[in-house]
Amino acid sequence: MRYIVHEAPLRRAPSNITAMIDLEPFGLPGEMEQVWITPPSGTTAAMACVPFRAYGLALNDVVGLDTHRRRVRRLLRSSGHQAFRLHFSRCSEEEAAILRDGVEATVERMGLGCEWSGDRHVVIDVPPGVELDPLEPVIRDHVDTGRASWEWGHVEPFRI
């Protein structure tokens, strides 16, 4: 089993806990994503991180948990946030560092938050009504030449 973890979740608080999402329904058999959630109220909690691999979930979404509170089972209410994922797998180390610096500076300037999975995969929290137009010039050349790829986390619904 391979575990995807969030080392710096956007809404991490001392009272938050982790839960697991099985990634097999998203084409990643043998992988689980460990996500951060707010303290559960019964079998309900809110996402305190932006999922790297699970589709259909975003920061602040309200989710239903199994009875052991260790597995996310369903999306109960969308927060309206979206997850924008950017992966630069075909960049040299130097290009990746430059792209990472550009992405981080742009995200900060826009007042947004992001989380990194390694040094080549970033997920950006996009609140309702926010457009990512300022990010486009930073990533355009890398995407156009196939050195980077992107996707929205809502291209597929959440499922178990």
Number of structural domains the chain divides into: 2
Residue 41 lies in a domain: yes
Query: Are residues 95 and 34 part of one domain?
Result: no
Q: pLDDT per residue over 84-101, tens digit each?
A: 999 988 888 998 899 999
Query: Are residues 144 and 98 part of one domain?
Result: yes
Residue 90 pLDDT: 87
| Residue of 33, 39, 53 lying closest to 11 (CA atoms) | 39
What residue type is 57 in one-letter code? L
| Residue of 75, 77, 59, 74 lying closest to 130 (CA atoms) | 59
Q: Which residues of the chain have pLDDT under 70?
A: 69
Residue 23 pLDDT: 97
Query: Are residues 111 and 55 part of one domain?
Result: no
Query: Are residues 139 and 113 part of one domain?
Result: yes
Query: Are residues 98 and 119 part of one domain?
Result: yes
Q: The pTM is what?
A: 0.94
Residue 69 pLDDT: 64
Residue 112 pLDDT: 97
Give the Cα separation of 75 and 96 in Å (integer): 34
Which residues have C-beta within 8 Å of that of residue 16, sequence separation ≥ 6?
9, 36, 37, 38, 39, 48
Query: Are residues 93 and 29 part of one domain?
Result: no
Residue 56 lies in a domain: yes
Query: Are residues 94 and 37 part of one domain?
Result: no
